[in-house]
Amino acid sequence: MSYDEKEAIRNCQAGELEDFGLIYDNYIKKIYNFIYFKTLHKETAEDLTSLTFIKALEKIKQFDPNRGAFSAWLYSVARNNVTDYFRGKKDNADIEDIYDLADAHDLEIDSHNRLIFEEVSKYLNKLGVKQKEILIMRLWEGLAFKEIADKLNMTEANCKMIFYRAVLKLREELAIMLVYIIFLLT
Amino acid sequence: MNLNNQQLKEILDELYKLDDNLRAKEQELIKIIMEVAAKRLKVEFDDRFRIKLRARIMEQAKAGSSLASLTIKYNPMKKLIYAVSFAVLAVIIIVPSFYLLKEKKSAKFNLTRQAPILAINKVAANSFGSLISKVESTVQNQNTGAASFRASQANGAGEKTLDGKTQGAAGAPVNNAGREAMLDNSAKSAANLAPLGQGGSGVVADVSSVNPDAKIMPPYQIVTYRYVYKGKDLPEIQAQMDVLKRNKISPTDVNMADLVNGLNIGLADLNSFSGLNLQNVTFTQAGDNSYIISVSPEEGAISISQNWQAWPAAKCGNDFRCFENTQKVNESDMLPDAELFKITGAFLADHGIDKKFYGDPVVSYNWRILYEASPDKSNFYFPNSLDVTYPLKINDKTVYEEYNGQKQGLNISVDVKNKKVSNLYNLTTQNYDSSAYDMETDPKKIIAYAERGGVNNVYYIMKEGGNGKEVELELGNPELGYIRHYSYETGKNSEILVPALIFPVTNSPKDQPYYYRQAVVVPLAKEILTEREKQLNQQSVDFSGGAGGGVSGSEPAMLKAETRPVK
């Protein structure tokens, strides 16, 4: 079955909400992965994914195709749900994902990812929100910059630039760690 | 995610386009990029979650669509109606969504009550692969009769039972002893040979060895059934129709893994095993006439069975006289259909079991036919329970069993002595994927198959002047329905529903108590029908004394479809 997103959205906005199923099928795994990489907990990711699609169904009439891509709109709904979730967990702090947390020990993280999280969070928490998102989408999800740009409502050039700065930052951090290690050894 | 050379080169080229100076730091960059890529966190995406959420979303989408179209159609004040409609829709959607999240967080160990929904998700054609292997093992099970088929369901198709006890299974109750014993005893009082004309593979060893002058045993007579279609022209069958495969989603939204999270039961620390999830859970009720309830999130099923220890029969222990005096069932104990339906209906209502996917109940076994035919009614074994079936209906089509044409669905047994429900099984979640498959559209072929009696119908070819009898049975206008099959491939069982035409037998023989076929079922999926035709050609018993003589399994000339007259 071919998927015409624009037509599906038009139909949903006209009240034929059955076409929302096509939108759901196209985005469910992507949105789930996006949320999971921010929360690292299966049940939380499922909850927030559910909420994202419920809200998207409810608000689809408000989406204006002239203001950006549908994917960007949907990802922003997902991102807001994650932010709200962390605000609820950590006294309204401005936290966008689990890497931002200074101490994530009290948060539920899937056990099979706990060790890796502790390693990657050392450098990911030095990056900005957009830097992390783009780095994760490029290196972990293997998305092309054009796809990333659509999802984040940015230009492709901008995405590349943010990725470049993220890599430079990581290089800096690794250099600092190396100096620190050398300092400890001498 | 480990990057290959091509992917790595692409990333590096992108960076160099932005800053050519980075080329000098290539080795560092490669190290950073490869390390980050390799440290990809592992995502486990649960397909059951996807299916379940889709069903709920579509249910709400449907509710929203109906509401919007209804109000807009009949009221000229469209703007106001839009506002009101979407406000109501928002309430419909937002309230349950917060309820869903809130309940999940706060009610960690409570089984949440969810309204059951029917969901059918369309997938690409032929998505389930070949239907043949999915069908064959089911047909072989059916060869051994209803009781053992249901027993195989109880054991998860040959797999482990829930708690090692037969009564605790989340499929069918294994205790069909009543029916088996009745058949066994009544059969013994009539003849000591294989059931007559039952359509199974019951081949008699040597008919000629029966002594017609024997004082104790009556002469053995073989009956073969010939079917003739007497209905109208068949309805047009679409070249492709949807086959449905049931998705086994948990009947509850509660994450069953939470029930074991952090659980140290003393003998072992369950928390030390990562990725644990509950496969089955069994609850035992206290008190007289209580039940054992088994919930299988893995199978998406719930079954309810007698807690034997708490029912009156258990009080007799091994005392047969006590059982005879207090629990033996007599004719006066047998309940009419209306009373059976009252008991089952009340049970469903009392325990919050929704009937909305099921049609009107039917009693699935008619003991009275056997009783009327029994030559020794004083020794007749009255069954201690009677089965009621609430037939499953999907897309207005009823689900049938292929081998006997009986309706299939929610099964409830009623203990006739105690006038209570004793068992309930086949209560399952209703979530399906549907995939188009090629159907047989030639009415001649369909009717020819029906007139051969369908699956497992054995033809007995008689000796000229021998002790055999042929009975002609008429088939009426068919109904379009489904047949349910189970596949046991790769250690798991899956259920599929295949479109079928169900031809009712309009003149069941009154003098043949073991005749059980209520309808002849013709599966419409081309792949299955072709395979069935091959099987039918192999299912015959030749007593005519033809080539090979005596009993043979060789292919008889009379059974080929093209030699049978077809209307």
Interface test with B, best of A58, A127, A134 (most B CBs within 10 A): A58
Question: A164, B72: Cβ pair inside 8 Å?
Answer: no
Q: What is the pLDDT of residues A29-82, one digit of tens each?
A: 999 999 999 999 999 999 999 999 999 999 999 999 888 889 999 999 999 999
- Name A184's Cβ contacts closer than 8 Å, sequence gap at least 6: none
Q: How many whole angstroms separate alpha carbon B403 and alpha carbon B392?
A: 17
CA-based nearest residue in chain B for residue A113 = B41
| Residue B287 near residue B420, CB atoms below 8 Å | no
102-161 in chain B: CB under 8 A from chain A = 104, 121-122, 124
* Stretch (H or E) spanning A176: helix A156-185
CA-based nearest residue in chain A for residue B95 = A54
Percent of chain B with pLDDT over 90: 23
Q: Is residue B160 predicted with pLDDT exceeding 50?
A: no
CA-based nearest residue in chain A for residue B67 = A15
Distance of CA A119 to the CA centre of its chain: 19
B255 touching chain A per CB within 8 A: yes
Higher pLDDT, A28 or B458: A28
A37 touching chain B per CB within 8 A: yes
Question: B93, A50: Cβ pair inside 8 Å?
Answer: no
Q: Which residues pair with B192 in a beta bridge?
A: none
Question: B65, A16: Cβ pair inside 8 Å?
Answer: yes
B18 touching chain A per CB within 8 A: yes
End-to-end Cα distance, chain B: 65
- Name B160's Cβ contacts closer than 8 Å, sequence gap at least 6: none
Task: Choose among B49, B61, B90: nearest Cβ to A17.
Answer: B61
Percent of chain A with pLDDT over 70: 85
491-550 in chain B: CB under 8 A from chain A = none
Q: How many whole angstroms separate alpha carbon A159 and alpha carbon A135?
A: 10
Residue B203 banded pLDDT, cuts 50, 70, 90: very low
A66 touching chain B per CB within 8 A: no
A52 touching chain B per CB within 8 A: no
Q: Is residue B357 predicted with pLDDT exceeding 60?
A: yes
The pLDDT of residue A77: 94
Residue with tokens 């007497």: B230
The pLDDT of residue B199: 37
Q: What is the mean pLDDT of residues B148-172?
A: 35
80-109 in chain A: CB under 8 A from chain B = none
Q: How many whole angstroms separate alpha carbon B167 and alpha carbon A85?
A: 45
| Residue B387 near residue B415, CB atoms below 8 Å | no
Q: What is the pLDDT of residues B371-420, one digit of tens each?
A: 777 778 888 888 888 999 999 999 889 999 888 888 999 999 999 999 99
Q: Is residue B490 predicted with pLDDT exceeding 80?
A: no
A171 touching chain B per CB within 8 A: yes
20-59 in chain B: CB under 8 A from chain A = 25, 28-29, 31-33, 36-37, 39-46, 49-50, 53-54, 56-58
Q: How many whole angstroms separate alpha carbon B44 and alpha carbon B280?
A: 22
Residue A179 banded pLDDT, cuts 50, 70, 90: low
CB atoms within 10 A of CB B442: 12
The pLDDT of residue B107: 36
Q: What is the pLDDT of residues B58-100, one digit of tens each?
A: 888 877 765 444 433 333 344 444 444 444 444 444 444 444 4
Question: A58, B43: Cβ pair inside 8 Å?
Answer: no
Q: Is residue B562 predicted with pLDDT exceeding 60?
A: no
CB atoms within 10 A of CB B300: 23
Q: How many whole angstroms separate alpha carbon B28 and alpha carbon B34?
A: 10
Task: Choose among A21, A50, A58: nearest Cβ to B58.
Answer: A21
Residue with tokens 């890497």: A99
The pLDDT of residue B399: 95
Q: What is the pLDDT of residues B429-459, one digit of tens each?
A: 888 888 899 999 999 999 999 998 887 666 5
Q: Is residue B144 predicted with pLDDT exceeding 50?
A: no
B8 touching chain A per CB within 8 A: no
From chain B, the residues in CB contact with A40 under 8 A are 41
The 3 state secondary structure assigned to B135-197 is HHHHHHHHCCCHHHHHHHHHCCCCCCCCCCCHHHCCCCCCCCHHHHHHHHHHHHHHCCCCCCC
Note the ipTM here.
0.87
B61 touching chain A per CB within 8 A: yes
Task: Choose among B42, B97, B275: nearest Cβ to A51.
Answer: B97
From chain A, the residues in CB contact with B65 under 8 A are 15-18
330-359 in chain B: CB under 8 A from chain A = none
The pLDDT mean for chain B works out to 71
Distance of CA B335 to the CA centre of its chain: 27
> How is residue A175 written in tokens?
């250099």
DSSP state of B256: G
State how far residue A86 is from chain B, nearest Cα, in angstroms: 15
CA-based nearest residue in chain A for residue B19 = A164
Q: Is residue A104 predicted with pLDDT exceeding 70?
A: no
Q: How many whole angstroms separate alpha carbon A124 and alpha carbon A160?
A: 18
From chain A, the residues in CB contact with B25 under 8 A are 171
Q: How many whole angstroms separate alpha carbon B131 and alpha carbon B531?
A: 10
A138 touching chain B per CB within 8 A: yes
Q: Give pairs for B367-371: CB < 8 Å, separation 24+.
A: B367/B182, B367/B334, B369/B510, B369/B513, B370/B182, B370/B183, B370/B186, B370/B513, B370/B514, B371/B331
The number of helix segments (H) and strand segments (E) in chain B equals 13, 19
A161 touching chain B per CB within 8 A: yes
Interface test with A, best of B36, B58, B62, B79 (most A CBs within 10 A): B36
The pLDDT of residue B126: 84
A172 touching chain B per CB within 8 A: no
Q: How many whole angstroms separate alpha carbon B404 and alpha carbon A111?
A: 51
A165 touching chain B per CB within 8 A: no
Residue B55 banded pLDDT, cuts 50, 70, 90: confident
CA-based nearest residue in chain B for residue A58 = B90
From chain A, the residues in CB contact with B7 under 8 A are 142
Question: B86, A15: Cβ pair inside 8 Å?
Answer: no
84-103 in chain B: CB under 8 A from chain A = 86, 89-90, 93-94, 97, 100-101
